[in-house]
């Protein structure tokens, strides 16, 4: 239904307007227990095989909403109702930000992709702390730096937001990989990343899992250095990956020169390769949230078998609609049944030969 009539209609309207409309409509639905129950009946899918414990948190299923859709944490009950096993909100900065000038969100339909240069538009950590209503499923809070903050002071931004939001989230993400905030990706350098991880760890009194979200454009050796740092510092996991700035293979040639990050199909292969790289190098010791170009159960399965313990979607939701959630979860369950596997742990990283690590 979504792909045959709703999507063609929505795709005639400006992408950011559709996004804002979705948030408005979602907020209305969140006020109604009846509405949420209806959504749940239509979209949610439960199966005991999909449940697991990761990083000390219990997940009903491995599929979550990726950061950037619900930047202000306004629709958490809705994400649970449509069947997600968890949701990540943000990116949140200490102070409110309006983000980059519009237009800043584009559909690349030929590529099944999105280009965005939103620039961390959000209401700021203090306001979000007051309004967030946490449902009974794991909620991740994704943190970033303010646009104007110089890179040497960035650690303070992560600290301020983390201190304000610590009891509101189940896990926290150090986002050092969005391409739309000047110098943010430079924070992936070991010196800066170590400083941020150490600072957050020292105030993490509730021992909330801290994760690092990385860019797909890093070289493999740089990724391995980050993995080693995460293992050494007790980071709970890695989110692989954020959007890519590689645009040379796009069919939508008019976007090649547009600044911003690409998500969706063009990101899929690299994101999966990064997952396997991390899984192999860490010998499966570092939980991975796999994200980038998941549009089907087959795509989800590929990322799980490459080493992701959990998955996230954003662009797939825009192109396939909320029915994608059930389709993926049902597809994973069916594949497990066909292979007589009852525990997700048995498929995670199953195509990766851990012994070959040098």
Ligand X SMILES: Cc1cc2nc3c(=O)[nH]c(=O)nc-3n(C[C@H](O)[C@H](O)[C@H](O)COP(=O)(O)O)c2cc1C
Binding site for ligand X (CB under 6 A): 66-68, 71, 90-91, 105, 114, 116, 118, 120, 142, 175, 178, 213, 242-243, 263-264, 267, 291-294, 313-316
Q: Return the residue nearest ligand X (CB atom).
A: 68
| CA–CA dist 282, 238 (Å, integer) | 11
Nearer to ligand X, 52 or 315 (CB): 315
| CA–CA dist 275, 286 (Å, integer) | 11
DSSP state of 354: G
Nearer to ligand X, 36 or 115 (CB): 115
Nearest approach in angstroms of CB 186 to ligand X is 16
Q: Which of 329, 304, 265 is nearest to 112 (CA)?
A: 265
Which of 178, 252, 263, 309 is labelled catalytic? Answer: 178
Nearest approach in angstroms of CB 25 to ligand X is 18
Asked if 178 is an active-site residue, the reply is: yes
Nearer to ligand X, 129 or 145 (CB): 145
Nearest approach in angstroms of CB 222 to ligand X is 18
- Would strands 86-92 and 52-54 be described as parallel, antiparallel, or unpaired? unpaired
Contacts of 153 (CB under 8 A, 6+ apart): none
Nearer to ligand X, 294 or 297 (CB): 294
Lookup: tokens for 87: 């949701």
Nearest approach in angstroms of CB 6 to ligand X is 19
| CA–CA dist 40, 287 (Å, integer) | 28
Helix (H) or strand (E) holding 141: strand 139-143
Alpha-carbon distances of 353 from 102, 281, 340, rounded to whole Å: 46, 10, 21
| CA–CA dist 91, 141 (Å, integer) | 7
Instruction: Tell me the catalytic residues.
Output: 178
């Amino acid at each position: 239904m979504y792909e045959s009539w709703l999507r063609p209609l929505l795709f005639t309207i400006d992408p950011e307007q559709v996004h804002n409309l979705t948030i408005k409509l979602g907020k209305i639905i969140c006020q109604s227990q009846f509405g949420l129950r209806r959504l749940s009946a239509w979209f949610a899918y439960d199966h005991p095989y999909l449940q697991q414990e990761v990083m000390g948190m219990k997940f009903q299923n491995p599929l979550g909403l990726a950061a950037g859709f619900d930047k202000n944490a306004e629709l958490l009950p809705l994400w649970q109702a449509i069947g997600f096993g968890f949701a990540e909100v943000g990116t949140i900065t200490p102070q409110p930000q309006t983000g980059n000038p519009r237009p800043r969100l584009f559909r690349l339909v030929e590529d099944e992709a999105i280009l965005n240069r939103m620039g961390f538009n959000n209401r700021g950590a203090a306001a979000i702390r007051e309004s967030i209503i946490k449902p009974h499923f794991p909620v991740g809070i994704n943190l970033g730096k303010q646009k104007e903050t110089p890179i040497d002071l960035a650690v303070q931004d992560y600290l301020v937001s983390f201190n304000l939001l610590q009891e509101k989230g189940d896990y926290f993400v150090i986002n050092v990989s969005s391409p739309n905030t000047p110098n943010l990706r430079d924070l992936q350098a070991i010196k800066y990343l170590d400083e941020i991880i150490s600072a957050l760890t020292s105030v993490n009194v509730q021992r909330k899992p801290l994760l690092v979200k990385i860019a797909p454009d890093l070289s493999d050796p740089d990724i391995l250095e980050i993995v080693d740092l995460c293992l050494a510092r007790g980071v709970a996991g890695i989110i692989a990956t954020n959007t890519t700035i590689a645009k040379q293979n796009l069919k939508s040639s008019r976007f090649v020169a547009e600044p911003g990050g690409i998500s969706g199909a063009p990101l899929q292969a690299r994101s999966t390769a990064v997952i396997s790289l991390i899984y192999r190098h860490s010998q499966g010791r570092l939980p991975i949230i796999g994200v980038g170009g998941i549009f089907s159960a087959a795509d989800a399965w590929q990322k799980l078998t490459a080493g992701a313990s959990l998955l996230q979607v954003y662009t797939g939701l825009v192109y396939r609609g909320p029915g994608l959630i059930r389709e993926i979860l049902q597809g994973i369950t069916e594949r497990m049944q066909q292979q007589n596997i009852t525990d997700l742990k048995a498929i995670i990283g199953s195509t990766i030969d851990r012994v070959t690590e040098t």
